[in-house]
Amino acid sequence: MTTYINLNAPRGSNAAEWQRGPAGRCARGNLYCESYNYGYNTARFSVRSSQARGATSKTWWLDVETGPNWLASQRDNARLIAGAIAALHSMHLWVAVYSTTYMWDIITGGYVPGTSAWYPTGMATPHPNRWCSARSFAGGPVSLVQLAAGQYDGDYSC
């Protein structure tokens, strides 16, 4: 079984989600620090919540898609993702990302964490293997290719 986490920027009223963590105690408004702590704390919370409900997974996909829930700073967004990756690695879990090169670059500015990728093509294709490659936008190989397959999306394992 694999699990994924929808990531976004640190927002909301619960400052405990980002003020303290492995990056230290962040000064208010230090988004570089807050982003790392938020990514780290969010990933740990997601794993613990899943485990408390009986779900166990060694593979965790970080869902990184464009939308209104990211910071204006690509550097801070990349730092948030780095925090989530660090948390999952600290729990001895395998980490990969779900995104496209286009969305990834808009959000992170081309950050390369060295993880595998699950690439959504957004279209039906008779040759999904053509989307597979040894190096993805995230630095590691493309592991899965998602493609439109009728009413539901299908996935192709590379």
The 3-state DSSP class for residue 92 equals coil
Q: What is residue 28's predicted lDDT score, i.e. its pLDDT? A: 85
Measure the CA–CA gap between 6 and 98, rounded to whole angstroms.
Answer: 9
Measure the CA–CA gap between 57 and 73, rounded to whole angstroms.
Answer: 31
Are 119 and 97 in contact, with CB atoms under 8 Å apart?
Answer: no
Q: What is residue 12's predicted lDDT score, i.e. its pLDDT? A: 65
Question: Residue range 105-112: average pLDDT?
Answer: 97
Task: Work out the burial of residue 21: count CB atoms within 10 Å of its CB; fewer than 13 is exposed, 13-18 middle, 19 or more buried.
Answer: buried
Q: What is residue 124's predicted lDDT score, i.e. its pLDDT? A: 67
Q: What is residue 156's predicted lDDT score, i.e. its pLDDT? A: 85
Measure the CA–CA gap between 119 and 19, rounded to whole angstroms.
Answer: 33
Q: What is residue 45's predicted lDDT score, i.e. its pLDDT? A: 93
Q: What is residue 20's predicted lDDT score, i.e. its pLDDT? A: 86
109 versus 55: the higher-pLDDT residue is 109
Range of weakest confidence among 87-91, 106-110, 115-119, 123-127: 123-127
- Eight-class DSSP state of 12: S
pTM: 0.91
Are 44 and 79 in contact, with CB atoms under 8 Å apart?
Answer: no
Expressed in angstroms, the distance from the first to the final Cα of the chain is 17
pLDDT digit string, tens, across residues 25-80 = 999 889 999 999 999 999 999 999 999 999 888 899 999 999 878 999 999 999 99
HSE-up of residue 115 (Cα within 13 Å, Cβ side): 26
- The full length of the chain comes to 158
Going by pLDDT thresholds of 50, 70 and 90, the confidence category of residue 13 is low
